[in-house]
Amino acid sequence: MYYLDLTLNGLIFGSMYALMAVGLTLVYGLLRILHIAHAAVYAFGAFITVIVANATGSIALGIVLAMIASALLGGAIYRLLYQPLLVYPPYVAMIASMGLLVFMEDAFRIVFGEQGLTFRRNPYPTQIFDIFGLTINAVQIAMLVVSTVCLVALGLFTTKTRMGVAWRATVSNPTIATSFGVDAIQVRYMNFFIGSALAGLAGALIALLNNFVEPSMGFVVSYKALAIIVLGGLGSIRGTLMASFALGLIESFGTIAVGAWLDRDALAFLFLIVVLMIRPQGFAGAKTA
């Protein structure tokens, strides 16, 4: 049962990594930018959830508003920062993105305080269920369900709808997609809206799970998400999902195995470096774009 618990735990964390990383991988696919500030959007979502939930008493309203606010923030980041930088080499936008992450995290610290915020009323993490001997709390169940629903919906959207197909076409080849009448600008906005809303949702769920948000919560997550999209082969959604769950599981088991001599967070990067040594193009990255 112990190992099943670890597996479950790994899958739950993996599903959160997946929600974070899908947005990143799509931004990379569209713009070839490592959108490091994505993690600040995630922390922003978490803060909005707590603030709205505490002000109105409704956690659901908090999550919905957090997703909307995160989507708008993501769109604004694209419009104000990335769009004018697309003419320069990609590292220019990447360093700007890193600056934005540092800036926003410090702004959170100044605005919301060093100590972070807690929910006034959040009964869910302590609602524990016992399913065939596996202990799991309400938020963890929500995480699994929500991420599965979101990822399946995203998959259906990109394969079954006209807009989604246009999106995928633009990711794989912007020039040809545009010549077939796809509005690349619209696709980019949609991409930032959806990806950022998912990051905000992940932030909200993590906030619920920990019953706590703090200014630097995005830092470590951002690099893990970067590691994941690199592992996934940069731009491949399937590879990103595989890498997310692999990392969740590796962290879950690895902490037991090597926790005595290595940090849990450092483990992710050990995994990243080992995989890149064997497959420099990542899990699913066949193309060298």
Partner 1 sequence: MSLYAYSLLSIVGINIMLAVSLNLITGFCGQVSLGHGAFFGAGAYAAALCAVAGMPVPVALLAGLLVAGLLGLIVGFASVRLREDFLAVTTIGVGFLLVGFVRKQSWLGAEMGISKIPASGLGPDGNAVMILLFALATIAFSLYLKRSWMGFAFRAVADDEQAARTLAIPASTYKLVAFAIGTAIAGLAGGLYTYFTQFIVPDSFGFILSVTLMAMVVIGGTGSTWGVVVGTVILTLLPEAFRFINEYRLLIFGGLLVLVMRFAPGGLAGIVTSATRRLRRA
Indicate whether 115 belongs to the interface with partner 1 (CB under 8 A). Answer: no
Q: What is the x/- site pattern for partner 1, positions 23-42, by CB under 8 A? A: -----x---x-x--------
- Which residues lie below 8 Å from residue 153, measured CB to CB, with a gap of 6+? none
CB of 4 to partner 1, least distance (A): 27
Of 79, 114, 275, the C-alpha closest to 191 is: 79
Within 13 Å and on the Cβ side, how many CA atoms surround 275?
Answer: 23
CB of 217 to partner 1, least distance (A): 15
Indicate whether 129 belongs to the interface with partner 1 (CB under 8 A). Answer: no
Q: Given candidates 55, 163, 257, 266, which one binds partner 1 under the rule CB under 8 A?
A: 266
Indicate whether 99 belongs to the interface with partner 1 (CB under 8 A). Answer: yes
Residues in the chain: 289
Q: Given candidates 19, 53, 101, 146, which one binds partner 1 under the rule CB under 8 A?
A: 101
Indicate whether 12 belongs to the interface with partner 1 (CB under 8 A). Answer: no
- Which residues lie below 8 Å from residue 287, measured CB to CB, with a gap of 6+? none
Report the residue number, 1 or 277, with the smaller CB distance to partner 1.
277
CB of 283 to partner 1, least distance (A): 13
Q: How far is CA 192 from the centre of its chain?
A: 12
Q: Given candidates 57, 84, 113, 123, which one binds partner 1 under the rule CB under 8 A?
A: 84
Contact 208, 122 (CB under 8 A): yes
Query: Site residues for partner 1, window 146-185 (CB under 8 A)?
Result: none
Task: Specify the stretch interacting with partner 1 by CB under 8 A; choose among 14-22, 172-180, 218-226, 239-247.
Answer: 218-226
Task: Specify the stretch interacting with partner 1 by CB under 8 A; choose among 44-52, 167-175, 190-198, 264-272.
Answer: 264-272
Q: Other C-beta atoms within 10 Å of 238: how many?
A: 13
- Which residues lie below 8 Å from residue 69, measured CB to CB, with a gap of 6+? 44, 45, 48, 200
- Calpha distance 181→178 (Å, rounded): 5
What is the dihedral angle through the alpha carbons of 141, 145, 146, 149, rounded to the nearest 10 degrees? 180
Catalog residues that contact partner 1 under the rule CB under 8 A: 28, 32, 34, 81, 84-85, 88, 90-96, 98-107, 110, 219, 223, 226-227, 230, 234, 260-263, 265-270, 272-273, 276-277, 280, 288
